[in-house]
Amino acid sequence: MLSTGRVLGSPACARRRPFLDDARPMRAVARGGSSNPTTGCIEAAAAAPWSGALAHAPPRHLLLDDTPLPSEQRVRQVVLKQAALATPRPARLAGGGLDAAFDRCGAVCKEYAKTFYLATQLMTPERRRAIWAIYVWCRRTDELVDGPNASHITALALDRWESRLDDVFAGRPYDMLDAALADSVAAFPVDAQPFRDMIEGMRMDLVKSRYQSFDELYLYCYYVAGTVGLMTVPVMGISPDSGADPETVYQGALALGLANQLTNILRDVGEDARRGRIYLPQDELAMAGLSEEDIFVGRVTDKWRSFMKGQIARARAFFRQAEQGAAELNQESRWPVWASLLLYRQILDEIEANDYDNFTKRAYVPKAKKLVALPRAYLRSLVLPSSQGAAS
């Protein structure tokens, strides 16, 4: 239920998953700004395909098709499918070469997402390793449009990456990092659809820089951020004390991804505008009496403040929904989720403190506030599920 921002460069690098990365997004995982992105995360970690045969994964089943349904209904189909999957299969610690693969995933996570890595230490070893493997896959995917070769990435390259994902779920990993993910999705009831949908978000970034309505933006936010929650809840697990319907937990995970991504968008309005990109609903801008020119010029007016107040209120509503799901997770898995939720939500407070000037001022959570938020998140993680009474 993590929710994962991007390097200053490629025009396609406007917006990514807000995976917890010391209050930077997994849009920011790449935006961390390194001349050596992911320190080998994208490289083929083995010269030849990984040789181990792993358990079979769920068959490919595309639910997001061309059906003219509202985005929320289309995404709910994926949520329901994931929530209906079987309970976790007995997870086991890997041995031999897989130990090295998971260690590599952990090293990448530790380097680029220190707070998140710290919070995963409370998880069981098998859950922790699987979360690291998912994190690394998301980062590698992100770097396809963020990394040093981003300007050369085409739809065909993304098609090949998706084909490689299919091989992972079929137990045919290409390299050691793929092998870690393949082992993880074989051990937990993780569906391939959210992974494919994240790749679809990459395709969208290659061709789209405007969103006519929130319905369009909702689908984009699901693709690039909400998917992470659906990937990780099966690994984090639902508390045995929870009386909540699994759909409630998955909807909470989705809501956290949406909230974090909307927060990214509101924080980075000016930065995105300098790339010629606007991730705000065009119809809502028009209703507020604002135009694209107002965005590009960067004027903070009463109209802009009023518009921003409405956008922030929407993001906060998703954060509130996310709380309902976070409380139902296994206790050892709650800390990273609560940390992400509390840290990201404070970015909205900082935008307000900047008088809604997200054109020239970048809202960020000061280190002192982060240090305060982490123990608060830990204490929240100790609270029993609110639905416990319903289970008795």
Residue 18 lies in a domain: no
Kindly list the distances between the CA atom of residue 118 and the CA atoms of 22, 105, 143, 222, 291, in Å, as whole numbers in the listed order: 10, 14, 23, 26, 43
Name the domain count of the chain: 1
pLDDT at residue number 96: 60
Residue 275 lies in a domain: yes
Per residue in 72-125, pLDDT tens? 888 888 888 877 775 555 444 445 689 999 999 999 999 988 888 888 998 999
Residue 370 lies in a domain: yes
pLDDT at residue number 87: 59
Q: Which helix (H) or strand (E) holds 261?
A: helix 246-267
pLDDT at residue number 76: 85
Can you read off the two tokens belonging to residue 379? 């204490």
CA pair distance 307, 310, nearest whole angstrom:
5
pLDDT at residue number 95: 54
Contact between residue 116 and residue 109 where contact means Cβ atoms under 8 Å apart: yes
CA pair distance 121, 326, nearest whole angstrom:
17
Per residue in 9-37, pLDDT tens? 333 344 444 544 443 333 333 333 333 44
pLDDT at residue number 66: 53
Residue 10 lies in a domain: no
CA pair distance 116, 135, nearest whole angstrom:
10
User: Per DSSP, what are the bridge partners of residue 238?
Assistant: 329
Per residue in 157-177, pLDDT tens? 999 999 999 999 999 999 999
- Note down the domain range covering 190: 28-33+71-87+97-391
Residues of the chain with pLDDT under 70: 1-68, 86-96, 146-148, 150, 387-392
Residue 1 lies in a domain: no
Residue 62 lies in a domain: no
Contacts of 47 (CB under 8 A, 6+ apart): none
Written as one letter, the residue type at 8 is: L
CATH number of the domain to which 324 belongs: 1.10.600.10
Residue 21 lies in a domain: no
Residue 253 lies in a domain: yes
CA pair distance 264, 279, nearest whole angstrom:
10
